[in-house]
Amino acid sequence: MRVYLDNNATTMVDPEAFELMKPFYCEKYGNPNSLHRFGSETHPALRRAMDQLYTAFNARDKDDIIVTSCATESNNWVIKGVFFDHMLNKDKDHIIISSVEHPATGAACEFLKQFGIRVSHIPVDENGLLDPNDLRNLIDEKTALVSVMWANNETGTIFPVKELAAIAHEYGALFHTDATQTVGKIKINVQDINMDFMSFSAHKFHGPKGIGGLYIKNSQPLTSLLHGGEHMGGRRSGTLDVAGIVGMAQALENSNKLMEFENLHVRKLRDKLEDALLEIPEISVVGDRAHRLPNTILAAVKGVEGEAMLWDLNQAGIAASTGSACASETLESNPIMEAIGADKELAHTALRLSLSRFNTEEEIDYAIVHIKKAVERLRAISSTFAYTPDWHVSGL
Amino acid sequence: MAKHDLIGGSIWDEYSQKVQDLMNSPRNMGQITEEEAKERGGKLIVADFGAESCGDAVRLYWLVDEKTDIIMDAKFKSFGCGTAIASSDTMAELCIGKTVDEAVKITNIDVEKAMRDDPETPAVPPQKMHCSVMAYDVIKAAAASYKGVDPDHFEDEIIVCECARISLGTIRDVIRMNDLKTVEEITQYTKAGAFCKSCIKPGGHEKREYYLVDILAETRAQMEAEKLKAIADAKISGNDSDLAFEELTVVGQLKAVEAVIDAEIRPMLMMDGGNMEILDIKKNDKGIIDIYIRYLGACSGCASGSGGTLYAIENVLQENLSQNIRVLPI
């Protein structure tokens, strides 16, 4: 059996969205910006897709939703655009992000430090939660931008973006949220949150890879990242990926339609899996379920190194993820694991399981058996776990 | 960066079949108890290295025949990634049947080579070499425990790169002998820094006592100081003329150029109402020494300044000082 429990990394493409994409590769393959019929025949699908995006987020006509290649591009665009528009040769010199942002945000801010930009980090507690009061302690009149992800990719913790946006605006700063992990999992209403910018990526909600977007409130100015064309109203150059836009929009519409199902079915399966994990001695899960995405579990498995755990699961056909440094190509430790706290030994024993609506109960039952087997085998090998022959995982 | 570096792969694809098999079914995993040691007539040695907080920890059990110092049996326990488990298992296997003194000579390189499917293909990707380093360290700890000495007793040199086992002395010598100027060159010549990269600079996977960037900077500084001292000594003894033009400091080069110009060139220029001055001397990446000049008086604006006169100045300086000189009028 093959069980995919790494949906925070990427997701399977929604079959209905995939079907809608197909005609735009070999039949209606014209460039939408061309004058001829090959180009113009793509327009109805593009207009429909844009309508779907605006409806899904409850964006107004005067707002912009600009199609980008992914959330990494969107995050970079916001941070560098705000630098050019509000910081370069101006009074403001400060950006605030959380200590657990995706590298697309963190590294872009690090890049700006060489130009004299100050970057502050809002800390998180051992449950991965963030206190809006910490933003108040960091923000000042020179803060140009507050950028905090809506939900964390490792822990699934949901951040109080509405409060954070209000605090940012109180001090005259812009507010951006990276909603990559949130879209398709919880209902998004851009009017309710009052954010200036919001990034998203299609492949996280069963859309295709290589396509994403940036919501820009009131079409406000933002220096372009990509120059060289009149695409997207001149805001983001590059020939439009019609198939990608169509697929992304349909995947988003379907995710929204199935939101209730997602929150019931996926949450039920996640809870079943998490309850089974917690039956194993010396396993802890980060964050309480009330403040977490319905699909995510981040566990610390005492005595079992993360990459070894993934190896055993992979042998059983199960895909999961770890924040362990040993599993990364560069051997660099995961800053998110470090930010949450070393006492959990997360830096080396993290196991992230992330579900989607395409997971079945049968798959979860299979995963539970094999996770327990892997823990038992690797703890028997482990020199840091007090394993005795009569110790074993219950239920095996 | 090149074609093969542009698309990342799974590190698992680079594990040898032996590594994969050992990850799944280690042969020497387990422990030896005091009771078992007594039964089998050997001395039990238990050694630990590493910690969970570091990401790697290994425990080695030896059963040693005290009459012969031969390791009758070896077992391990390991907290670590799959390659750490496979390396620990191989290390235990290599110990069995060897004397304690022979076992101490087993290095992480021996462990990695023993896990290869074929002699030419590494068993693990470069960044995973550090996983086998623990094996060497825990053997030293076990041998030290058996002999009642400090583990450092077995180290006769300071190792900078644990993965490739390159010593501080070797790195310093290679920098000097080959006039190395970058860390990349050190890696090309010695393989130090080619694997887990912890030894290159602070902030890597593991904290190290010595880093290549510091060794390079210190050695280069020493080489420069020695060069200056040699020049100063030569001056004192009146032998500075023995030094090659390239070995002189910029000040020394400036003086030498001025001396040649005063003697051979300036008189000719002044006869025609002209003159010249030296603005700067710079050595470029290709080893060419560029001498920037400005023409004065009648030479300024003279067409010959970029033709015959320039050629004559360059020729005289090359013959008197160095063939690597190039003259650039500003």
Residues of B annotated as catalytic (active site), given as ranges:
54, 131
Give the residue on B whose Cα is nearest the Cα of A343: B53
* Of the partner residues A331, A347, A383, the one whose CB lies closest to the CB of residue B59: A383
Angle between helical axes of B308-320 and B250-260 (0-180°, round to 10): 120
Of the given ranges (A239-253, B148-162, B300-314), which has the lowest mean pLDDT? B148-162
Measured between CA atoms, how close is B169 to chain A, in angstroms? Answer: 27
Q: Using DSSP, how many helices (H) and how many strands (E) does chain B show?
A: 13, 8
pLDDT at position A335: 73
* Of the partner residues B51, B82, B130, the one whose CB lies closest to the CB of residue A308: B82
Catalytic residue among A26, A70, A109, A326: A326
Q: How many residues does chain A have?
A: 396
Give the residue on A whose Cα is nearest the Cα of B28: A381
pLDDT at position B1: 62
Q: Max Cα separation, chain A?
A: 76
Round to the nearest angstrom and report the end-to-end CA distance of chain B. Answer: 38
pLDDT at position B256: 87
Question: Is A348 in Cβ contact with B53 (below 8 Å)?
Answer: yes
* Of the partner residues A305, A314, A380, the one whose CB lies closest to the CB of residue B80: A305
pLDDT tens digits along B100-148: 999 999 988 899 999 999 999 999 988 787 777 778 789 989 999 999 9
* Of the partner residues B52, B59, B205, the one whose CB lies closest to the CB of residue A325: B205
Q: Is B311 on the interface with A (CB under 8 A)?
A: no
Q: Which of A282, A307, A385, A388 to mutate to test the interface with B (most CBs of B within 10 A)?
A: A307
Residues of chain A with pLDDT under 70: 325, 327-333, 341-345, 386-396
Across the strands, what pairs with A8?
Answer: none
* Of the partner residues A305, A311, A325, the one whose CB lies closest to the CB of residue B79: A305
Question: Is A383 in Cβ contact with B130 (below 8 Å)?
Answer: no
Residue B277 DSSP SS3: strand
Q: Of all residues in chain B, what percent carry a pLDDT higher than 90?
A: 49
Give the residue on B whose Cα is nearest the Cα of A311: B82
Whole-angstrom Cα distance, residue A78 to residue A56?
21
Contacts of range A276-281, beta carbons closer than 8 Å, 24 or more positions apart: A276/A368, A276/A371, A276/A372, A276/A395, A277/A368, A277/A371, A279/A393, A279/A394, A279/A395, A280/A372, A280/A375, A280/A393, A280/A394, A281/A391, A281/A393
Torsion of CA B200, B201, B206, B207, to 10 degrees: 130
The model's pTM is 0.80
Do residues A245 and A49 lie in contact, with contact meaning Cβ atoms separated by under 8 Å? yes
Across the strands, what pairs with B292?
Answer: B280, B328
Do residues A349 and A302 lie in contact, with contact meaning Cβ atoms separated by under 8 Å? yes
pLDDT at position B204: 80
pLDDT tens digits along B169-195: 889 988 988 888 999 999 888 888 888
pLDDT tens digits along B212-263: 999 999 999 998 888 877 777 766 666 556 678 888 888 888 888 998 898 8
Q: Of all residues in chain A, what percent carry a pLDDT higher than 90?
A: 83
- Catalytic residue check, A109: no
Instruction: Kindly list the distances between the CA atom of residue B301 and the CA atoms of A81, A122, B168, B326, in Å, as whole numbers in the listed order.
Output: 50, 65, 57, 20
Q: Which helix (H) or strand (E) holds A65?
A: strand A64-68
Counting one residue from A and one from B, how many pairs have CB atoms under 8 Å apart? 80
Q: Which of B81, B83, B138, B163 to mutate to test the interface with A (most CBs of A within 10 A)?
A: B81
Residue A329 DSSP SS3: coil
Whole-angstrom Cα distance, residue A102 to residue A76?
11
pLDDT at position B167: 86
Q: Nearest-5° angle of CA A257, CA A4, CA A204?
A: 45
pLDDT at position A389: 47
Across the strands, what pairs with B60?
Answer: B47, B76
Token pair of A157, please? 């913790």
Q: Is A311 on the interface with B (CB under 8 A)?
A: yes
pLDDT-derived band at B285 (thresholds 50, 70, 90) equals: confident
Q: Is B204 on the interface with A (CB under 8 A)?
A: yes
Q: How many residues does chain B have?
A: 330
Question: Is B205 in Cβ contact with A329 (below 8 Å)?
Answer: no
Per the listing, tokens 């820009």 go with: A216
Whole-angstrom Cα distance, residue A116 to residue A104?
19
Q: Give A-chain residues touching B55 at CB under 8 angstroms.
A: 305, 324-326, 347-348
Whole-angstrom Cα distance, residue B77 to residue A345?
19
Instruction: Kindly list the distances between the CA atom of residue A143 and the CA atoms of A175, B6, B111, in Å, as whole numbers in the listed order.
Output: 11, 37, 54
pLDDT at B95 exceeding the cut of 80: yes
Do residues B56 and B87 lie in contact, with contact meaning Cβ atoms separated by under 8 Å? no
pLDDT at position B3: 78
Question: Is A381 in Cβ contact with B85 (below 8 Å)?
Answer: yes
Q: Using DSSP, how many helices (H) and how many strands (E) does chain A show?
A: 16, 12
Q: Is A343 on the interface with B (CB under 8 A)?
A: no
Of the given ranges (A9-23, B47-61, B289-303, B310-324), which has the lowest mean pLDDT? B47-61
